Structure 1
């Protein structure tokens, strides 16, 4: 209650007036110190005592926006802050230009968020994307002079690049509720649009029809049941949950945990008070796929949440969406209401006697809320700081009850899997025509930004190569210059070079041992790795062409185990491409600053270590640009320091932020040491 009420006040006034906080305290009978405790933690909340500006322009400073010149826009001597000072002096208004963490519009960088206090009724904020500096100057001048600003760039009016490259199509009407424009066919995810069906929640209907035919209620398996007995039980009594198992659907939020296992674990817990939480916080720089799903296919997300709730015995679902996605929040709320009117949500769903409500939870802000336990803390009106685990969220989640937490995309795949079967989804992966044993399973979406012809959101067969994604005609359409590096997991995986160095001593025995170790976990993965090594890393090779690497989370993990890279490579939903003469040390420092800025501060090693990493990176830049780069023993000492900080953070941090914070600088020192010596020139 606290966080959402604070969010409402912030949206109405643009800050948190003292009088409103006092009134809220009286109304909900919560002491002021609790409101202060929560509101002071989240960066999106502006307290009155901080003297919030009358006009505020926030320029995204991260990753692709940094690549596209946001640092110049934020320059205190030559950029937009100079104009803000001039306008403040002329008008007497407090006008502020400052940097902000990723706004989720990386495909049209740089992105800018603008507010005026108070905002016009019905307007949440003005968002401008890929605008030249003079356009942004006019925005400031217009607002300073009490004129209407230039028209913003709403997400709904921006046609993202998708697989088909044919823009938008209009699927059939749902009676009085016509479809919003959707990306054209080419996404298997869009099961209703692809089949030309009305959005009638038929996957939920299939499950409720199954329930109505049961002779006895759907009862979870005994707690001591496991192995084949458990699999047989689920297959016999909960066949639609078993489809999730056969699909091998993984979580799309980063960790890649099997969706089936989460749903099964929550179903097995006793009690009827269980929850489903959709994590739509999407604050990792470079990631914007969920933005498109929530806006253009909200029915898939709502249906996925309801399916998860019904199939696990849950009572309520929440779709947690970052506050910067105001169009998406509106779209999802409208869709929930439409589902309720259809009987697919709320009480007595499709006459089944089962109840399951869904609502939107608007994020209070902050990258750390993307971590699932921190997200739950925020939903429980506490500071968004990660929990120590165990216990896991599947047993002690929201309100200390069993909770499924899944990513937006993960839940959006569920309706299609229920309707067409898990094997249909699994068969969507890449296959080697010459050998059917060599294959991958499933499909997923990637957000691609940076130096490609068509930045956008692309659905691909898992196992498609990075090269095909970047250069394929139905995907990104080409790299805009000679490839230098790829960030394959947003900033969290650092920067991988176009040609990754390989130890030439990686001989036949080491190859065989590596494949045998993989085979202990997965014969299918081992078959592919054996083929990959034969095909792309011949004996004596000293480098690996990054463009040959498949888009598969498990392959990235196996690749690190087999080839022993100096820094662990990662694959996430955010991919940024760097071509030509981009300054990769500067990019790595920018990544590191992001993690320093977004550390919640709970873990002392993370709080201090992330700052120390930024200091090291900035010193490297300063020394280089002054003509006195580090070298010799000093360079080795710095590498050693980064290695020690990495080890400390990865051993002591509660959440993944501390684990990945050192990786950008570590990859720069491992693969791009030349950028510490001399700035690349175009």
Structure 2
């Protein structure tokens, strides 16, 4: 209640007036310090005592926006802050330009968020994307001189690059409100309704409620002591639609890749009548924007996925947590939930089944850390968004200390298609080698691609497609705009990998065989592919691996780390950024590190201090390089320091932020050491 009420106040006034905070504390009967505890933590909340400016322009400073010139826009000597100071003096209004963490519009960088207090009625904020400094200067002048700014660059009006065959269209039978256009569909395999030409009638939910109606006895969870083959047999016999998730091998699309079937099964098995489904739509990882498109264009799939998860696990209610910067998406979801209720697919007595399952939208108070699922739960429970120590796991003690499923937007959006067409249909969507049926992957997923490609956008691909096919394929990104320099395959989390990944020449036949054998202990299919991959793309004696040959599969990246004994862990996430030409890799890596420093919640002392120390090391490297002094001995000592910090953070941090924070700088020092003294011939960033 506290967080959402604070969001309402923030949206109404543009900041949190002290008077409103005192009134809220009195109304909901909590001490004022509880209100202060929450309001002072989240970056989106502006307290009155901080003297929030009347006009505020926030420029995204992360990843692709940094690559596309955000640093120049934010330069205190020549950029937009200079104009802001001039306008403040000339008009008497307080005008501020500052940097902000990722806004989720990386495919049209740089992205800018603008507010004027008080905001006009029905206007949440003005967002501009891909605009130059001259345009943004005009926006500031218009607002300072009490003129209306240019029309914002809305997500609904923007049609991103994608590999749809159908193009964007309004589904047949959709009622069109001119002021609130219906979401358009991308025609991906994900969008079963648009692809089949069906009305969005929640037929996957109807299929499950029809199954419940045919049961002779109620659907009862298996005994908790049941496991192994006995448990699998029980699910197949009594809960066949849940078993389809197992058949599909649907993994979490938020980064960790946990099997959706296991999460749902764990919560179904938990005792009690109070359970919850939470959709994680925070999507604050720089470079990631695929969920933005799903939530706006296909909200019905997300809502239906939440309802299915709730019905299948016996949950009480569903909650869709969405970052506050996605205000169009929040509106689309709320409208879709209303429509689902009108259809009888959501709320009380779903399709006459006697089962109740309400769904609501939770608007995030901001902060990258809330993408971590336990921190997200903390925010939903009106506390600071700081990760929990685990165990206990969320499957047993999640939201309100009850069993909770937390899934990513895309994971839930795949569920309706799997229920309607079966897990085999989804699994068969993966990449396969035509000449050998054993060499294959299962499933499909979406990637956000930004940076130096012809068509940055959101692409649905067969899992196992290579990086090269995604970047250069005619139906995908359409080519890299220059010689490939580096790839960030997991946003900033995986750092920067060079176009040619160094390989130890001592990786001989025996070590290859041993690596494949270790993988076979876990998965014969993965081992078959690794054996084929090594023989095809990494002949004996090779000293480098072409990263464009690497398949887009989370488990392959994990196996590759172990097989090649990579000095820095390679990762695959939903965000992929491409760097071409003479990009300053060290400068990019320092920018990544600054992001993690800025977004650390501060709960873990090693993370709080270590992330700042990493920034100091990175900025020191840039300064030394500009001065032309960076001897090899110094580099060796710096690499040693970074390795020690990496080890400490990865052993002591509660959540993944501390684990990945050192990786960007570690990859720059490991793979791009020549950038430190000479920046590859390019004039270093000042």
| 2:182 equivalent in structure 1 | 180
Once the two structures are superposed, the pairs formed by residues 243-282 of structure 1 within 5 Å of their partners are 243-282=244-283
Cα distance between partner residues in 2 of 1:208 and 1:151? 45
| 1:534 equivalent in structure 2 | 535
| 1:122 equivalent in structure 2 | 122
Cα distance between partner residues in 2 of 1:285 and 1:638? 26
| 2:13 equivalent in structure 1 | 13
Once the two structures are superposed, the pairs formed by residues 139-154 of structure 1 within 5 Å of their partners are 139-154=139-154
Cα distance between partner residues in 2 of 1:30 and 1:11? 22
Cα distance between partner residues in 2 of 1:7 and 1:640? 45
Look up the SS of the partner of 1:169 in the other structure.
coil
Once the two structures are superposed, the pairs formed by residues 201-600 of structure 1 within 5 Å of their partners are 201-600=202-601
Cα distance between partner residues in 2 of 1:280 and 1:176? 26
Look up the SS of the partner of 2:115 in the other structure.
strand
Cα distance between partner residues in 1 of 2:175 and 2:291? 27
Cα distance between partner residues in 2 of 1:530 and 1:61? 42
Cα RMSD over matched residues? 1.0
Cα distance between partner residues in 1 of 2:511 and 2:149? 63
- 1:595, 1:610 within 8 Å by CA — same for their partners in 2? yes
- 1:369, 1:375 within 8 Å by CA — same for their partners in 2? yes
Output one character per residue of 1:477-519: Cα deviation in whole Å (capped at 9) or x when no partner: 0000000000000000000000000011100000000000000
Cα distance between partner residues in 1 of 2:354 and 2:566? 55
- 1:171, 1:179 within 8 Å by CA — same for their partners in 2? no
Cα distance between partner residues in 2 of 1:60 and 1:616? 23
Shift of 1:176: 7.4
Shift of 1:181: 4.8
Cα distance between partner residues in 2 of 1:182 and 1:260? 29
- 2:596, 2:657 within 8 Å by CA — same for their partners in 1? yes
- 1:452, 1:479 within 8 Å by CA — same for their partners in 2? yes
Shift of 1:182: 2.6
Output one character per residue of 1:90-138: Cα deviation in whole Å (capped at 9) or x when no partner: 1111100000000000000000000000100000000000001011000
- 1:173, 1:179 within 8 Å by CA — same for their partners in 2? no
Shift of 1:626: 1.5
Cα distance between partner residues in 2 of 1:327 and 1:419? 29
Cα distance between partner residues in 2 of 1:166 and 1:548? 29
Is 2:101 the counterpart of 1:101?
yes
Cα distance between partner residues in 2 of 1:368 and 1:625? 33
Q: In the superposition, relative to structure 1, how do residues 118 and 493 fare at CA in structure 2: closer, same or farther (>3 Å)?
A: same
Cα distance between partner residues in 2 of 1:217 and 1:167? 44
TM-score normalised by structure 1 residue count: 0.99
TM-score normalised by structure 2 residue count: 0.98
- 2:324, 2:365 within 8 Å by CA — same for their partners in 1? yes
Output one character per residue of 1:421-459: Cα deviation in whole Å (capped at 9) or x when no partner: 000000000000000000000000000000000000000
Is 2:656 the counterpart of 1:633?
no
| 1:84 equivalent in structure 2 | 84
Shift of 1:180: 2.8
Cα distance between partner residues in 2 of 1:451 and 1:39? 39
- 1:168, 1:181 within 8 Å by CA — same for their partners in 2? no
- 2:170, 2:185 within 8 Å by CA — same for their partners in 1? no
Look up the SS of the partner of 1:217 in the other structure.
coil
Structure 2: segments with no counterpart, 5+ residues: none
Cα distance between partner residues in 1 of 2:128 and 2:518? 50
- 1:159, 1:167 within 8 Å by CA — same for their partners in 2? no
Cα distance between partner residues in 2 of 1:346 and 1:381? 24
Q: In the superposition, relative to structure 1, how do residues 632 and 681 fare at CA in structure 2: closer, same or farther (>3 Å)?
A: closer
Shift of 1:164: 2.9
Structure 1: segments with no counterpart, 5+ residues: none
Cα distance between partner residues in 2 of 1:371 and 1:634? 36
